[in-house]
Amino acid sequence: MKATHKPKQKSKRDWLVGTWLNGSEWASEVAFTITRSGDSYAIRLRDGYDGEESEVFDTAWDGEVLSFAAHWKSTGRFARYRLSLTSTNRLNVTYTYTDHEMYHRQRTKRNV
| The pLDDT of residue 4 | 55
DSSP conformation class of 42 = E
Distance CA 46, CA 19 (A): 10
Whether residue 50 contacts residue 32, with contact meaning beta carbons closer than 8 Å, is answered with no
pTM of the model: 0.77
Instruction: Walk along the chain (112 residues) in steps of 10 and give the mean pLDDT of each run.
Output: 55 86 83 93 94 97 96 94 94 91 86 68
Whether residue 68 contacts residue 61, with contact meaning beta carbons closer than 8 Å, is answered with no
Measured between its terminal Cα atoms, the distance across the chain in Å is: 102
Distance CA 112, CA 105 (A): 10
Report the largest interatomic distance among the alpha carbons of the chain, rounded to a whole angstrom. Answer: 103
| The pLDDT of residue 66 | 97
| The pLDDT of residue 2 | 55
| The pLDDT of residue 25 | 74
| The pLDDT of residue 24 | 79
Distance CA 74, CA 54 (A): 9
Closest CA to 45 of 57, 37, 36: 57
